[in-house]
Every structure is written in structure tokens, then in C-alpha cells.
């Protein structure tokens, strides 16, 4: 089945950029998503990218997609303490079932 992998932890200093990486295995993935989960809450949709795109920018967020290597990254510019959370990447092949990675816990050090 589909496998989506992420590193478990990332620590950055406030004001620096954060880069969260994700790899996936299904070459027929159509859309790839980034979600944020804060303690005690559900998943907040941050951004998503269609598989025929290389890059998408949305304010402080930049998504890069390397379809050949099946590698997705999320860059957060000027990281703030409020960005501390768990970040999940997810993909889908068209049906409304998302395959999620394990999540990356981002800790922002003041």
C-alpha cells in the first residue's frame, strides 16, 4: 500500500526558516497536502499542491514538489512560536481518502 514518511522531530530558532520534508511512494498521487495539528485540536489545512506543479507559495509557506524523487517539502519563513505543532503531509490518488505521514513535531525555540 501507500507509504508516506516524515522525520519525527525538528527544532528551529524563532525567526529562522523551517523545512519539513516528506517522501511518498505512490507515483499516481494527484494532490499532496500539508496539515497542522496543535495540542487537543484537529487538523488544520495549511496548503496543497497538484502533482503537476513544482512549487506553490502562500504567504510564509512554500511547498516544493520533486515528482521524480517523490519528495515534498514545506518551508515556513520567519518561524514563530505559534508555529510549534505537528505537521502532517498527506497524499491522495483521487478518491477522498488521504494517506498521512507520521507527522513532524516542530519546536520553535524563542
Partner 1 sequence: KAGVTQTPRYLIKTRGQQVTLSCSPISGHRSVSWYQQTPGQGLQFLFEYFSETQRNKGNFPGRFSGRQFSNSRSEMNVSTLELGDSALYLCASSEGGSNQPQHFGDGTRLSIL
- 40: Cβ–Cβ under 8 A, 6 or more apart, which residues? none
User: How long a stretch of residues is the chain?
Assistant: 110
* Inter-CA distances, 105 with 37, 65, 71, 97, 101, Å: 9, 21, 19, 23, 12
Among 65, 92, 104, 106, binds partner 1 (CB under 8 A): 92
Q: How many residues bind partner 1 (CB under 8 A)?
A: 25
Among 8, 52, 97, 110, binds partner 1 (CB under 8 A): 97
Q: Does 41 participate in binding partner 1 (rule CB under 8 A)?
A: yes
Among 17, 44, 66, 81, binds partner 1 (CB under 8 A): 44
Amino acid at each position: 500500500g501507500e507509504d508516506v514518511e516524515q522525520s519525527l522531530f525538528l527544532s528551529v530558532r524563532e525567526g529562522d526558516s523551517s523545512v519539513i520534508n516528506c517522501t511518498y511512494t505512490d507515483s499516481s498521487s494527484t494532490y499532496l497536502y500539508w496539515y497542522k495539528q496543535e495540542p487537543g485540536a484537529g487538523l488544520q489545512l495549511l496548503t496543497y499542491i497538484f502533482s503537476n506543479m513544482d512549487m506553490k507559495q502562500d504567504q510564509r509557506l512554500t511547498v516544493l514538489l520533486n515528482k521524480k524523487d517523490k519528495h515534498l517539502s514545506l518551508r515556513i519563513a520567519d518561524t514563530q512560536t505559534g508555529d510549534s505543532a505537528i505537521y502532517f503531509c498527506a497524499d491522495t490518488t483521487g478518491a477522498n481518502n488521504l494517506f498521512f505521514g507520521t507527522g513532524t513535531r516542530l519546536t520553535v525555540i524563542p
